[in-house]
Structure 1
């Protein structure tokens, strides 16, 4: 592993190293190949399994123009991630570095499970090598995850409530509208309450498990406080980035539905997407299978035609996998060279990295 000083300054106590073992190109290539094989198996099921003739017909006659629209929308979603990343972690970071770290995280999220947590972990490693204190990285990573995910819960609460009272359609049973809305509101309320609690302090003589629990609690509490602060400051990058990341990704699924010749109500796509995405938390490389089954199942439950849902979700997943992966590979190549050559002193400037 290559070790260099920041900016070529041999007196600096901070160092940058080549990427950690789990993010080395060969290991990432193996992960990517495994995810590709799983995705290929999913495609093979659709292509060869009996009883899916209508799905195959929809895919055979998919409109290329709508698929291109889907790719553009996914690119906008990824760009929104970049816009959000910079003000949350380090506003003094250059846009180039922010772009590369963000795309590396997005690419990592395409081939590891747990809803992008693996990408955030790699980004945290890079920031730490740039000089940002570990506790600050942990707090801001929690804040970033909360802000990115919080849009989903707010959307479920709003859209579910509007469906429940009949302001928007189509008509759905209350367990598909009011119940998700109430649960989402409950989660939001719990986060707000937790954000107001004092950070826990370890008791004298506490054991290892107790200390670890207290540290975890402090990180979560600090992240909640950080997220609340960012929302109160109404930073346009945070607000537009988090909204755009969610909105454009939803729009990709809307575009793939049109590509396969279907146009279910937008509310059906939104609710199916919001709840179905929970399958991405399953420990499956790239979420292949978990997200797909979750999306298809929820879309059908909310009223989308089954064959159209399967075809649209498959097209959506192909776009969602390949675009971040290819963009992330290019960003990783550029960022890795810069780390080895110590050419990115702006990852975390001392004046910013040392602050809260």
Structure 2
């Protein structure tokens, strides 16, 4: 099956339902937000009160307001870049207002639900279903979207690792910290490109066991979605490319600005190579990724040469921004999205 282009269909969608699934009920989201705020508060309290972290506290107390403001600006740009790649990946004729409401709602929800943003995409999938898009199309394009969103990180590790090894970027790193990650990232990219060649398998019948139907749907979505990611890339849509690169680049720049805020200027290789590996902590099922991302980033940055105290101070400042900016933007978008879903003309997404 050849992947379809993510454009609108001609038939009008049904009116979206006003109710939200239980996991996205306002009360439940408020509870989740409170849990993450408490977890983040504990993390900050440890940094501010624990013995032996005096240098971290000193660095934070002297942090540059200008650089912190720039950290916030970069994170806002990263969130807006998510919207730029969301629209062409799911429905290239979607109204930009709808794309902004859904995309930023996903970003905000992803900041309080663990598993590296999967919770936010679940909200978007539910909205798209109510707006008329078929579940199979959503599953396929969700796979394509996730691949595009993460591919830039792996490509950057390959390129960055080779450039650092060759001495083009600094500071110098051991081979196992340059060619090692570059080789693994290249292997992952190569394996992903082979997925579209796998057979999709037959579609499971309704009477078959649920596990069988789930496996069949997952396999088809993975094979078709990976192929569709390639189709999207070959379209050379400027918004898609700007979104994919911007979502990654602005977030990296936010981390870099947080370092500058505490008076440290790490080398490109420290940020570039430490970012991806450190972010893997966000996959842990921890509210908001608190502790997982932080520990992963601090540890990885230290391995790549960052001093321990500046790394801890910079990551703490970065994580506070990374939590509050998506949440604030997402909350405003979520309120607007709920209003749009009560009006037939307010949410127009007709892709099937």
For normalisation by structure 1, the TM-score amounts to 0.92
The C-alpha deviation readout for 1:239-290, integer Å capped at 9, x for no partner, is 1100000000000000010000101112211111111000000000110000
2:89 corresponds to:
88
CA contact (8 A) 1:18 1:339 kept: no
> Distance between the aligned counterparts of 1:156 and 1:314, measured in 2?
24
> Distance between the aligned counterparts of 1:40 and 1:30, measured in 2?
15
Unaligned runs of 5+ in 2: 1-11
2:3 corresponds to:
none
1:152 corresponds to:
153
CA contact (8 A) 1:110 1:321 kept: yes
Task: Tell me the CA shift for residue 53 of structure 1.
Answer: 0.4
> Distance between the aligned counterparts of 2:229 and 2:116, measured in 1?
19
Match for residue 275 of structure 2 among 267, 273, 276 = 273
The C-alpha deviation readout for 1:5-34, integer Å capped at 9, x for no partner, is xxxxxx985542322111111111100000
Question: What SS does structure 1 have at the residue aligned with 2:17?
Answer: strand
1:337 aligns with 2:332: no
1:170 aligns with 2:189: no
Task: Tell me the CA shift for residue 342 of structure 1.
Answer: 3.4
Q: 1:203 to 1:104 in 2, by over 3 A?
A: closer
2:40 corresponds to:
39
> Distance between the aligned counterparts of 1:49 and 1:12, measured in 2?
56
Task: Tell me the CA shift for residue 212 of structure 1.
Answer: 2.5
The C-alpha deviation readout for 1:176-210, integer Å capped at 9, x for no partner, is 11111111000000011112333222589965433
1:233 corresponds to:
235
The C-alpha deviation readout for 1:51-99, integer Å capped at 9, x for no partner, is 1000000000000000000111111111111111111111111111100
> Distance between the aligned counterparts of 2:147 and 2:67, measured in 1?
32
2:8 corresponds to:
none
CA contact (8 A) 1:66 1:255 kept: yes
CA contact (8 A) 2:101 2:333 kept: yes
Question: What SS does structure 2 have at the residue aligned with 1:17?
Answer: coil
CA contact (8 A) 1:195 1:228 kept: no
Question: What SS does structure 2 have at the residue aligned with 1:111?
Answer: coil
Question: What SS does structure 2 have at the residue aligned with 1:171?
Answer: coil
Q: 1:312 to 1:129 in 2, by over 3 A?
A: same
Q: 1:15 to 1:168 in 2, by over 3 A?
A: closer
1:323 aligns with 2:325: yes
Q: State the superposition RMSD in angstroms.
A: 1.7
Match for residue 258 of structure 2 among 253, 256, 259 = 256
Q: 1:207 to 1:345 in 2, by over 3 A?
A: closer
For normalisation by structure 2, the TM-score amounts to 0.93
CA contact (8 A) 1:202 1:210 kept: no
2:72 corresponds to:
71
> Distance between the aligned counterparts of 1:255 and 1:228, measured in 2?
33
2:20 corresponds to:
19
2:7 corresponds to:
none
Unaligned runs of 5+ in 1: 1-10
Question: What SS does structure 1 have at the residue aligned with 2:172?
Answer: coil
> Distance between the aligned counterparts of 1:115 and 1:59, measured in 2?
27
CA contact (8 A) 2:82 2:247 kept: yes
